[in-house]
Structure 1
Amino acid sequence: MVIPQDATELANRQQDHKYLRFLFWIESVVSVVGLLIVTDPRLRGWSGLAQTVSSGSSAPDPSHNLLFATYMLVLLFSLIHYKQILRVTRKALPLLVLVGVAFLSVQWSIQPSATKSAALWLAGTTLFGIYLGSRFTPRQQINILCVVVICAAVLSIVAVRFFPDIAIGTGSFAGDWQGIYLHKNRLGRVMSLGVMLFAIRIGRYNARDLLYLAGLLLCAFLLVKSDSSSGLVVALAVILTRLGLDFLSMDRALYKSLLISASITAAGLILAVLANPSEAAALVGRTGTLTGRTTLWAYLMNFVQDRFWNGYGFEAFWSKGSATLEVVQRSVYWAPTHAHNGVLEVLLDLGLIGLILLGTVWAITFIRAVRLALTGNSMEDRWPLMYVIFYTLWIIPEAAALGSAQINFVLLVAVFSCLIIRGPERVRYFADDRLGQYIGLTSVER
């Protein structure tokens, strides 16, 4: 019996189809696990991954080992989809130079071993972000992140229910939920990200939107229980951005008038806060020094001036055993482990050179995201701009701008990678992705 050639080709394609679907499923699971780990849950003795990485500790840590395994799998997947990765890296010079400067900072670091370890992790984190941005469409990225946030929310509720002594704050943070994280603001950061993600997903007003609304309410509940003022402000800002983009897609004249009104209102609020910082802080239950942050920032500026151009070495300033860490903690009468400001943190790590490079990546991402949002009204078109706003707002009160195992930086790189592939003209081009072409996961339009 002779099998027709067309039938043989169809059978081969169906076999390829099954293999590629399975591969995509594996890649999605690995991405969910990796993103959940870089939110920095406490997996061993409730010690954070960030502290383990920055201190260069060689002690075994499940989160450390699991993240290493995830990065190795990401490297393998990147080799499989090397064309997509190369398409990004050819256009990502500022990002690559930034990682290169982190490695070079070993030469002038006050803690060379900590800097070397952190730079290696930064390279893995950057590759992870490039892989996410080039491999998954914006819709798929949002879906993966929704799963990550729900996992973090459910695990946090379980931790509060069964381990309240370590999942609920004590002392000055008594009663504040921190869930599976070291600090309430980390839970607040992840939940504010969830609020943004589910706010993006709600839009077609069908039965499925009830699930997204439930996810949004769950994240909002945990955000309130954490009492993270930063998280609440960011969540409110991204929801207002979402509503503003809705108006943009409706009526241009209405949008312009609302935009002007909102801009005037925002300017007035900013001036009021600057003129009366103590009263403004009291409205959210905080002091005018932003819980001691402004005092810390003023003190750290002395260190910034000493090494203005190149910093103290990537993640060396706050590393365990460094002289600078001891001096700062003695001088400010509390025990900060980071600058509580993303810009200051980058200046301490890599100086003005590093800040310019990171700022260039941010500026490219922001400009392309604005263009995309102004020319489209789909969920995919809104995600980049809303995330850039989210990222920008979080680096003011927290050192979340650049890190060796930092979800904010991973997602910035992912959005940056996605935008430089697509371009501001909204060309949906996600490389030679046979999987997407076969099962409709990826839109390839030239």
Structure 2
Amino acid sequence: MKNLSDILEKIFAILSLTFFTGGLSLGGTVPNGPLTAFRYLIWLISGILLVLRWRTTLALAKRDLFIWVVTAMAVVSFTWSNVPAYVLQNSREVVQMTFFALYFAGRFSLKEQLQLVAWTLGIGAVASIFTAVLFPSIGIHGADHPGAWKGIYDYKNTLGSMMTLSMVAFYLLATNKQPRRLLAWCGCGLSLMLMLLSTSKTSLTMTLLLLLFVSFYRKFQWRGKITILILDLMMLFLGGLGLVVFTNWVSILTGMAEILPSQVEQKFGVLP
């Protein structure tokens, strides 16, 4: 009975992670009704499981109060938004994701979480290939980004970002001494292939940066936290520089520089 319960909870976790990553929308082709129903089902099941394990839930909730501060800020952000009604309506998703995240962190060990993330994104990768091959009108961009794959997700950069997470998850599994390492390396190759097919330069840059972070951490962790911090800051600087050089982030930052002053003036009556 316990084994069946474990299997069902892992299936629930994978389905929930797939939903929160946008994989169940099939590129926006699934109507909002079923997705909304599934969202509330996740909320309900997560809430019930949290109550059943209330001691673990309370202990986990008290562990890091800063997370609750950030969550509260996200929920009340409608008070300074230009579209408060829209933000307030969608802030429910923050609460729903927080419920699931609290359940996920309390129910599974860090190793199990990594495996479930890898399973989720691996299934998403395989489903994206089938979608792009069998239903190219859904899985491949048309006139907006000709030939770029988006798979089961809504946009090519979404597929790219999911494959970045997939690559890191499978790489961590493949480089640890455990069974099915060959399968994990296959997952790395599949993730890289889909990143290239998505034509997302940002995803490729972030993947390289994250893999370098992991490699540096493993190599220098014995030298202490200060060494790791300095190396991470160096890699972060180089990675940020790479993002600006190889992507269109310059235009994004330029646009933000034009928008922010007007927003501050509108909200506070002063021009920065």
Matched, 1:169 2:141: yes
- Return the offset for 1:87: 0.9
- Return the offset for 1:108: 5.4
In structure 2, what is the Cα distance between the partners aligned to 1:261 and 1:238?
A: 13
TM-score, length basis structure 2: 0.83
SS at match of 2:25: coil
For 2:7, the equivalent position in structure 1 comes to 25
Which has the larger Rg? 1
Whether contact under 8 Å (2:206, 2:239) holds in the other structure is: no
Residue identity in the other structure for 1:290: W
In structure 2, what is the Cα distance between the partners aligned to 1:303 and 1:182?
A: 31
SS at match of 2:23: coil
Aligned length: 266
In structure 2, what is the Cα distance between the partners aligned to 1:149 and 1:265?
A: 26
- Return the offset for 1:293: 1.6
SS at match of 1:89: helix
In structure 2, what is the Cα distance between the partners aligned to 1:292 and 1:182?
A: 23
Deviations, residues 386-444 of structure 1 (Å, cap 9, x unaligned):
xxxxxxxxxxxxxxxxxxxxxxxxxxxxxxxxxxxxxxxxxxxxxxxxxxxxxxxxxxx
- Return the offset for 1:231: 0.7
Matched, 1:43 2:25: yes
Residue identity in the other structure for 1:22: L
Deviations, residues 213-236 of structure 1 (Å, cap 9, x unaligned):
011111111111111111101111
Indicate how the Cα distance of structure 1 residues 67 and 252 shifts in structure 2: closer, same or farther if over 3 A, else same.
same
After the TM superposition, which residues 387-402 of structure 1 pair with which residues of structure 2 at under 5 Å, given as runs? none
- Return the offset for 1:239: 1.4
147, 167, 185: which one aligns with 2:119 = 147
For 2:256, the equivalent position in structure 1 comes to 297
TM-score, length basis structure 1: 0.53
Matched, 1:200 2:166: no
Whether contact under 8 Å (2:173, 2:181) holds in the other structure is: yes
- Return the offset for 1:158: 0.8
Identity of aligned residues (%): 21
For 2:209, the equivalent position in structure 1 comes to 237
Indicate how the Cα distance of structure 1 residues 158 and 304 shifts in structure 2: closer, same or farther if over 3 A, else same.
same
In structure 2, what is the Cα distance between the partners aligned to 1:200 and 1:298?
A: 38
Structure 1: which 5+ runs fail to align? 1-17, 50-58, 310-446
Residue identity in the other structure for 2:249: L
Deviations, residues 73-114 of structure 1 (Å, cap 9, x unaligned):
111111111111111222443333333344444555543432
In structure 2, what is the Cα distance between the partners aligned to 1:191 and 1:33?
A: 17
Matched, 1:77 2:58: no
- Return the offset for 1:68: 1.6
In structure 2, what is the Cα distance between the partners aligned to 1:261 and 1:104?
A: 36
- When you count helix as a share of all residues, which structure comes out higher? 2
Deviations, residues 100-138 of structure 1 (Å, cap 9, x unaligned):
344444555543432332122211111211211122100
- Return the offset for 1:263: 7.3
In structure 1, what is the Cα distance between the partners aligned to 2:67 and 2:176?
A: 36
In structure 2, what is the Cα distance between the partners aligned to 1:120 and 1:302?
A: 29
In structure 1, what is the Cα distance between the partners aligned to 2:258 and 2:193?
A: 36
Structure 2: which 5+ runs fail to align? none
